Amino acid sequence: MQVTVRTFAALAEAVGQRTLTLDLPPDATVQEAWRQLVAVCPPIERFERRLLVAVNLSYATWQTRLAEGDEVAFMPPVSGGSPGVEANTSFEITDQPLSADALIAKVVNPRAGAVALFAGVVREFTGERRTVSLEYEAYREMAVQEMARIGREVANRWPDVRLAITHRVGALGIGEASVMVAAAAPHRDSAFSAARYAIDRLKEIVPIWKKERWEDGEEWVGPQTGPGGARPAPSREARTVLQAQEDERRRVARELHDGAAQTLANLVLRVEVCERLMDTDPDRAREELRRLKELLRTSLRDIRQVIADLRPLVVEEQGLFEALRLYASEFQQRSGIAVDLEFDGELTRLDPQVELAAFRLIQECLNNANKHSGASCVKVRVVRRDRELQAEVRDDGRGFDPHAVRTGNRFGLQGMRERLHLLGGWMELEAAPGQGTTVHFGIPI
């Protein structure tokens, strides 16, 4: 089979081509494509540990399998990424000079009382070193898609904000604008926050690189440095993983303390009572022993539930779809909330990480509905598309104000977003008081 390979920045210069075609065996992986590219150009092997990869405009892994006609991109490090909302003129890559007025015109609307505009410009001096010019390069199609992804994230955090981003590529002189972000909102706080968030995320996930030309040389530099640059600092994703691990440890400790530990402490007291009753009142002692057995069964069930939550073996053994069927049935019996479960698409096994993540996310949505929504029914729809697994969880409960998500980790929603971000996924939230809650997410497969 044939696949198209695209390279960027310092790697493209080392290869000597930005686009080329490789002949690979059927079902080959990204890693095999890279090895074939290294065989053609051995010096590029040193770049491997710093590269990120994408397949058909979505971030991928070295083990992602390829199909006829796929496009594989080997890119300098920008962390994270996922499919975003459908691209439109609010998110652009251009080789023309940027216009603040044109960008503001894209976001102004009758409800906007404030517009925050950020402009990044080419500075002449970095420390004592004088810059002559900059050259920006982008993976255009994916860059626009990732900008649209930022637009989705902003809409989730600040529903009343309208956002636009434009980034320039090509050669830029001193003082020229390289990027502009405009955010319009009813109030200035939201506009400032959204604009700051958008430019920070752009530096993290949008595949754009710059070459800085000085009086005495040139180099790929900056936060989006090429493969020949310095090692990146610990990523936001790494910090998120560590925080998630600590949160999970605290959750397990709390559940063990409030559940099994309390039950076991009660058991110790009841055993002491039984000891005293054995000689004086055997009938009461037998009754206490009967209750002790029930408590032991309850404690054992709680411990097994904690173990299942930590590692749901049914997902590993039977796959996502069967695991969801079993969990939905158990959830209905435990909570009294009806679950309408629907699958659409091929129900074969997926990557274990994708299956486990999807199960966890749907489990979290159902638990939130049970704890917070007062719902009588939850509809769960799971759709498998060619390169994405999507799910929608909709309850008929009391709903809530989505603005609350901005200031706190309401119902674990921020943790869900971070989990999806690590997998290159996305999430949308729809909620309103008295109108229920809908969570919609997707994970690349």
Query: Looking at the structure, do residues 301 and 322 belong to the same domain, yes or no?
Result: no
Higher-pLDDT residue of 209, 406: 209
CATH number where 402 lies? 3.30.565.10
What Cα–Cα distance (Å) separates residue 182 from each residue in 10, 83, 154, 167, 259? 31, 22, 12, 12, 50
For residues 10-29, give the mean pLDDT. 90
Chain segment 263-317, per-residue pLDDT in tens: 777 777 778 878 878 888 888 888 888 888 887 887 777 777 666 666 666 787 7
Q: Of 274, 292, 310, which residue is a domain's last?
A: 310
pLDDT at 238 over 80: no
For residues 175-181, give the mean pLDDT. 95
Whether 82 maps to a domain, the answer reads no
Whether the model pTM is above 0.75: no
Give the per-residue pLDDT at 312: 64
Whether 83 maps to a domain, the answer reads no
CA nearest to 244, candidates 420, 369, 93? 420
Query: Looking at the structure, do residues 144 and 118 belong to the same domain, yes or no?
Result: yes
Dihedral of alpha carbons 267, 271, 277, 281, sign: positive
Give the per-residue pLDDT at 221: 55
Whether 81 maps to a domain, the answer reads no
Q: Of 278, 310, 342, which residue is a domain's last?
A: 310
As a whole number of angstroms, the distance between CA 126 and CA 425 comes to: 36
Average pLDDT, the chain: 82
pLDDT at 82 over 50: no
Query: Looking at the structure, do residues 108 and 53 belong to the same domain, yes or no?
Result: no
Q: Which domain holds residue 267?
A: 235-310
Give the per-residue pLDDT at 182: 97
Whether 84 maps to a domain, the answer reads no
Query: Looking at the structure, do residues 114 and 239 belong to the same domain, yes or no?
Result: no
Q: Among 185-189, 190-194, 385-389, 440-444, which stretch is predicted with the lowest mean pLDDT?
A: 385-389
Query: Residue 169 has which token pair?
Result: 């590529």
Q: What is the Cβ-side half-sphere exposure of residue 202, based on CA atoms within 13 angstroms?
A: 29
Give the per-residue pLDDT at 113: 93
Domain count, the chain: 4
Whether 108 maps to a domain, the answer reads yes
CATH number where 247 lies? 1.20.5
Residue 338 CB burial class (10 angstroms; 0-12, 13-18, ≥19) = middle
Give the per-residue pLDDT at 84: 34
Query: Looking at the structure, do residues 99 and 112 belong to the same domain, yes or no?
Result: yes
Q: Of 310, 329, 354, which residue is a domain's last?
A: 310
Query: Looking at the structure, do residues 184 and 162 belong to the same domain, yes or no?
Result: yes
CATH number where 98 lies? 3.90.1170.40
Whether 101 maps to a domain, the answer reads yes
Query: Looking at the structure, do residues 21 and 99 belong to the same domain, yes or no?
Result: no
Whether 441 maps to a domain, the answer reads yes
Chain segment 395-422, per-residue pLDDT in tens: 999 988 876 654 444 446 777 887 787 7
